Structure 1
């Protein structure tokens, strides 16, 4: 069904291609899926999110007075991470904030490296994820381990939302060995999300370097994220993920955010997972608009 047209209700999305001029928010697609631990159509997700953005406006109490640019999708990012990293780096060079659309969680590696560049020694990482992502090998279960092995300090990694029965004792011990700060899902039932994110960003940004925030949507309850193959009952609420996206966008140390682990082909007919991701893009933009 075509969307209504109202000149007094302009729609979000359909952002222009880059021109080389500075922008506030750069959108990048990283459609990773080939190394996923489970079958996924996550490569279809960036396009689906762009379509879903049109359901919303760019008004959040006040208009988002920001300059947007859509840098398109990396080509075959699973096989050519260098190309994906270069696309993110290109976007980061002309923007204040990069928002990368996965793809599965393998997208976190080029998203982070492309933004950090040569600053890996001071960089920090915050993940909202039910899983540690510290597995061996190269997959959507290994991005955090890979970044640490490339030189990211484990003591500047904070993992928010780690869930019971979604990890193993081996990888929990590996997280402890790396010095990762873990904020368990149960803590989120007692604390406002904005406070948790503020704490996480303080730790991740303690060396004064750039921070990347990985919003793995399977941290959410399965009822609100059925398009995430690994989401479980009892995860966080949609409003909490939106709050985290806005808090991340508002923080001056955050230079990039990714949204990952959504399979657009497995979503419900009402597209509740894809629409949540689109709203998180706009929440990050709203946060960016609140920066001094």
Structure 2
């Protein structure tokens, strides 16, 4: 992470975000719970994505909890940090149960990956027995419908677990980053695909409204996967598969706030960042931290 967090200035009138209390130290329900799911071992690209949850927590301190919309007041929320799940690659079942435990007392769970394999325990843990009515929205350059178990397979694995493909919406799918086979697989299982080109031609609020309507059509809980490699490589150099021409940082931030406002969105993950490969200014990790704050602001706006 660029810079020395310990050297940040102190101002009693400019509080810093992050450093939220442990979820175990708070009695009762939570508004937002942060949890790390440091998956990395099954990645298709060499990665140290398991270093990212700690880096995002550190980056949160670069920002304040203040938003100019008076309704987006983070101070009214009970925010907590549930720590990192130990060895989520080796024991996915335990990781799923840990998410379920924290989701049972939280209005919104924000999971920090790790690679995209983190999406499976994050979603299944939140959905629980509501899986038959659940919905999934991904902001991702890729379909993630590959065979096997990797960061390229979470959407396929969730569908095989019982998720109805007709309630899956994939936003930001890019040309030259996928194959005809997986595009046809997405079509065959009923996934709604909004490509990067279509996303660029339409207002973002319109796109996200469509995604939320489709994913929530059965009234079940929605999980949102923010795979940061959907962004342009200039703002996401720490994502191994980000490409020139992806969406802008402000678009990802706006999407995070919009989806978190929706009452059916119960969980959100931020994945595919290798903090050890970031630019010198830490721009990718900083974007992830801002997405955490945008999600909290969206929750406050519900």
> 1:282 is matched with which residue: 263, 270, 293?
293
Aligned twin of 2:50: 43
Aligned twin of 1:83: 94
User: How far did residue 281 of structure 1 move?
Assistant: 0.3
Deviating above 2 A after TM superposition, structure 1's stretches of 4 or more consecutive aligned residues are none
Q: Note the 1:1-292 alignment, pairs <5 A.
A: 1=4, 2-18=7-23, 19-61=26-68, 62=70, 63-64=73-74, 65-291=76-302
CA contact (8 A) 1:21 1:94 kept: yes
- Taking structure 2 as the reference length, the TM-score comes to 0.95
3-state SS, counterpart of residue 112 of structure 2: strand
Deviations 1:99-129 (A, max 9, x none): 0000000000000001000111000000000
Distance 2:203 2:232 in 1: 17
Deviations 1:222-251 (A, max 9, x none): 000000000000000000000100011111
CA contact (8 A) 1:134 1:144 kept: yes
Distance 1:195 1:47 in 2: 34
Distance 1:20 1:129 in 2: 36
3-state SS, counterpart of residue 183 of structure 1: strand
* Unaligned residue ranges in structure 2 (runs of 5+): none
Larger deviation: 189-198 or 157-166?
189-198
CA contact (8 A) 1:20 1:94 kept: no
Deviations 1:198-257 (A, max 9, x none): 110100000000000000000000000000000000000000000100011111110000
User: How far did residue 20 of structure 1 move?
Assistant: 3.7
Distance 1:78 1:217 in 2: 20
3-state SS, counterpart of residue 268 of structure 2: strand
* Unaligned residue ranges in structure 1 (runs of 5+): none
Larger deviation: 140-149 or 193-202?
193-202
3-state SS, counterpart of residue 60 of structure 1: coil
